[in-house]
C-alpha cells in the first residue's frame, strides 16, 4: 500500500483570487509534516484540499494512490480527522459530548471499547476533569484540547488496510507554552508510534524545528521549499520569506532553535 496523501499540481481559486497555484506535495503516513508560511500563503487552503473539504480548481488530491472522492464518505471519516481553527460549537455540548461526536462515523461498526476510547482521548489531551463542563464556557486553550480529543477519538483505532490521517489547522494558536509542547509531542507520538500521517499548519518556526519530520514552506500560494526542517528553515530562507534575521543555536538538549536578531 502506498501510504501517502498527495496533492498533484493543485490550484485553488475563489472568485478572482488564486489561493494556491499548482501546488504539488506528498505527505507520508508515520511522519509529522508542518506546513509553514506567512499570513495568506495558502496554508489553510491546502489543508482544506487535503481533507476533502474543498475541491481543487485544477489538479488532484490522492490518498493512498486513489482520488479522495473515490472513497465512501463514511470510510474517509473513519480514517481522516480535521481539527479546524474555529473551535466553538453551536449548542451547549459538554466536553464529553464533543469528544463522543468523534465516534459518530463508527456508529455502524462500533468498537468493543467505545466508552473507553472517549475517556482515553480526553485523558491524552488533559481534559478528563473538564468532561461535564460546557465547551463554550471554557478558555480557548481548553476548547482546543477538547477538540483535539475529539479528532483523536475519531481515528483512535486502525482501519485495516488503510492509513490514518490527522490534519491540524494551527493547533497551538490558543495554547500556552506548556500545552503547545504537550500537544505537538502527542501529535508526533501518534505519527511515530501509531503510523498516523500528521499534517499541521504552524506559525512558530521553532516548534516546527523541534517536532516536525518534514516541512512544506508556502508563499503566495506556491511551494518555496520542502524537506527536513533544519534544511528548509535556513537563515537565508527565513530572511527571504519572513523578512526577519535569525541566528541558529542549540538549546541545552541539543535541539536546533532560531533566535530572532
Torsion of Cα atoms, 216 then 218 then 222 then 227, to 10°: -20
What average pLDDT does range 169-181 have in this prediction? Answer: 96
pLDDT at 67: 95
> For the segment 35-51, what is each residue's pLDDT rounded down to a tens digit?
999 999 999 999 999 99
Domain boundaries of the chain, sorted by first residue? 4-260
> For the segment 106-127, what is each residue's pLDDT rounded down to a tens digit?
999 999 999 999 999 999 999 9
Query: Which positions ≥6 away from 178 have C-beta within 8 Å?
Result: none
For residue 138, pLDDT over 60 is answered with: yes
> For the segment 203-229, what is each residue's pLDDT rounded down to a tens digit?
999 999 999 999 999 999 999 999 999
For residue 86, pLDDT over 90 is answered with: no
pLDDT at 2: 63
pLDDT category, 9, cuts 50, 70, 90?
A: very high
> For the segment 49-67, what is each residue's pLDDT rounded down to a tens digit?
999 999 999 999 999 999 9
Mean pLDDT in the chain?
A: 96
Helix 140-154 and helix 177-194, axial crossing angle in degrees, nearest 10: 10
Burial (CB < 10 A; 0-12, 13-18, 19+), residue 213, is: middle
| Residues β-bridged to residue 12 | 20
> For the segment 185-195, what is each residue's pLDDT rounded down to a tens digit?
999 999 999 99
**What is the SS3 assignment for 219?**
strand
Q: Is the pTM of this model over 0.85?
A: yes
Which one of 3.30.1360.180, 1.10.10.60, 3.40.50.300, 3.30.365.10 gives the CATH number of domain 4-260? 3.40.50.300
Which helix (H) or strand (E) segment holds residue 115: the answer is helix 114-124
Amino acid at each position: 500500500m502506498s501510504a501517502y496523501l498527495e496533492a498533484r499540481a493543485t490550484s485553488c481559486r475563489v472568485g478572482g483570487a488564486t489561493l494556491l497555484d499548482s501546488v504539488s506535495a506528498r505527505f507520508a503516513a508515520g511522519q509529522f509534516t508542518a506546513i509553514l508560511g506567512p499570513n495568506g500563503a495558502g496554508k489553510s487552503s491546502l489543508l482544506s484540499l487535503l481533507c476533502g473539504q474543498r475541491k481543487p480548481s485544477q489538479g488532484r488530491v490522492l490518498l493512498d494512490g486513489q482520488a479522495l472522492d473515490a472513497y465512501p464518505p463514511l470510510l474517509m471519516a473513519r480514517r481522516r480527522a480535521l481539527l479546524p481553527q474555529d473551535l466553538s460549537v453551536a449548542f451547549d455540548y459538554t466536553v464529553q459530548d464533543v469528544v463522543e461526536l468523534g465516534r459518530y462515523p463508527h456508529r455502524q461498526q462500533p468498537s468493543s471499547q467505545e466508552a473507553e476510547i472517549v475517556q482515553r482521548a480526553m485523558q491524552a489531551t488533559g481534559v478528563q476533569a473538564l468532561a461535564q463542563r460546557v465547551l463554550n464556557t471554557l478558555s480557548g486553550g481548553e476548547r482546543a484540547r477538547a477538540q483535539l480529543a475529539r479528532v483523536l477519538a475519531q481515528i483512535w483505532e486502525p482501519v485495516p488496510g488503510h492509513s490514518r490521517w490527522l490534519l491540524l489547522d494551527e493547533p497551538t494558536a490558543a495554547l500556552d507554552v506548556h500545552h503547545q509542547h504537550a500537544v505537538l509531542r502527542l501529535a508526533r507520538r501518534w505519527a511515530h508510534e501509531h503510523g498516523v500521517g500528521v499534517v499541521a499548519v504552524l506559525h512558530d518556526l521553532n516548534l516546527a524545528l523541534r517536532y516536525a519530520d518534514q516541512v512544506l514552506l508556502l508563499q503566495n500560494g506556491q511551494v518555496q521549499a520542502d524537506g527536513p526542517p533544519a534544511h528548509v528553515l535556513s537563515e537565508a530562507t527565513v530572511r527571504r520569506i519572513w523578512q526577519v534575521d535569525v541566528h541558529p543555536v542549540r538549546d541545552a538538549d541539543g535541539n536546533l532553535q532560531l533566535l530572532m536578531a
